[in-house]
Chains A and B, each alone.
Chain A
């Protein structure tokens, strides 16, 4: 099984690939709709701006491909901006931009009003994991630290997708799971041992799914 890391021309895909190499999981980086159409599992990484990313995804005609894969239950993991792209809409960059709409959630700026907190939210922050979460099953501590770099966050319209919460001024949802769709706001590829556990869990889910 080879996981496909979607290259939509924004962000640093090699670092995600290296982290998978570290846990002996094969990946390829591709922006080819045909390759992604037959992927057993998909990672949507990303840093940068929502609008540019969605524009690229639509230009590369990957939106319908990703929708089709989601519909047939292919495991998909969105990381950071990749998590936000799975949402229905985002307010980043002004106005409302349509996302992939694969998870029932919307993207808005982190709320740090009436606090002395800074934006972007940069650095290591502990999260609080839901007991039933699949992505965090390899982590024993209930409040592991992960590396975050972001100014926007998702707001679920269906609370059942929440798999972890982080607190920065206010609580926000930093991980979501819904059927075969997974999303994390932090960077597992930069979060040392806990990050590796999250990627390992996704690789195992993908393996089980592709051999089913």
Chain B
């Protein structure tokens, strides 16, 4: 049986983790490679790197980080943030990323999704959708890390991305991100039910019940979280045990 995936996410800036594990035994808490190794050993099902480097001058550092992480980790690695072109996708894949997440560039030029999927296969193209509620049952797509509204309906957008060849949707609720109040379940469920590709729920996880709700009520195939793991409140093992106890198939 296919298992629900638990995916920790690291924010990486200029090659350093800015929001990551605060474990005391880390030699270098800012080293993404060391954090990735810990999550690999802890049985994370995948790892997500979000490159939040503001300056485009420093793009090369993420390739180096991906390369060094891939040397150490034998689980799938998704890298997102600042992906602008088919060449960017290729460079990240060649550095060792298994999947590349695209957001802003897909909004600017949706054909990029088709081109990238045709060239590298749908399986490595993840579309990151940052959605904000605009009324009951309605969500709008935002870009630039949630700063820019687009006027695009998130459900229609996710469908379009599926048609163009996206292999997965990473759905982040801008309303819930950082609030620790749980996923936006109506948004997750509406979009997951509208698609036949997997949806990764993201944004708002504050406790382990939220992970269960993302799969059960949100119909997500995977749950992504950052702070509950990074600050040592819960381990990947705790999360999976909790989900298993709720009857969700997980890889233990």
Contact = CB atoms under 8 A, between A and B. Distances in A.
Specify whether A and B are partners: yes
Interface of A: 10, 12, 14-15, 18-19, 22, 47-49, 81, 117-126, 145, 147, 149-151, 167-168, 187, 189-192, 195-196
Contacts of A119: 196-197
A192 B75 contact: yes
B120 A48 contact: yes
A123 B221 contact: yes
A191 B197 CA distance: 22
Contacts of B96: 12, 14-15, 18
A186 to B, nearest CB: 11
Contacts of A187: 76
Which of B1, B43, B74, B222 gathers the greatest number of chain A CB atoms within 10 Å?
B74
A124 B94 contact: no
A126 B1 contact: yes
Contact of B40 (A47, A48, A167, A192): A192
Given A120-B197, A122-B123, A147 B1 contact: no
Interface of B: 1-5, 40, 43, 45, 70-71, 74-76, 93-94, 96, 98, 118-124, 167-168, 195-198, 221-222, 251
28 contacts: A10-B120, A12-B93, A12-B98, A15-B98, A19-B74, A47-B123, A49-B121, A118-B197, A120-B123, A123-B2, A123-B5, A123-B45, A123-B221, A124-B3, A124-B45, A124-B251, A125-B2, A145-B251, A147-B75, A149-B167, A151-B122, A189-B74, A190-B76, A190-B98, A192-B40, A192-B43, A192-B74, A192-B75
Contacts of A123: 2-5, 45, 198, 221-222
B23 to A, nearest CB: 21
A12 B43 CA distance: 23
A124 B2 CA distance: 6
B119 to A, nearest CB: 8
B166 to A, nearest CB: 10
Binding site of A, secondary structure by majority: helix, strand, loop or mixed?
Answer: mixed
A47 B121 contact: yes
Q: A22, A124, A147 — which one has the most chain B CB atoms within 10 A of its CB?
A: A124
By secondary structure, the B interface counts as loop
B101 to A, nearest CB: 14
Given A12-B94, A49-B118, A149 B75 contact: no
Most buried by B among A48, A122, A167, A192: A122
A84 to B, nearest CB: 12
Given A12-B93, A14-B70, A125 B197 contact: no
Contacts of A118: 195-198, 221
A145 B3 CA distance: 9
Contacts of A126: 1, 3
A149 B98 CA distance: 10
Contacts of B45: 123-124
Given A12-B94, A48-B121, A192-B43, 20 more contacts: A14-B70, A15-B96, A48-B120, A118-B221, A119-B197, A120-B197, A120-B198, A122-B198, A123-B5, A123-B198, A123-B221, A123-B222, A124-B5, A125-B2, A126-B3, A150-B123, A151-B122, A190-B74, A190-B76, A192-B40
Nearest to A116: B219
Contacts of B198: 118, 120, 122-123
B2 A121 contact: yes
Nearest to B200: A122
A125 B5 contact: no
A49 B124 CA distance: 12
Nearest to A48: B121
Contacts of B3: 123-126, 145
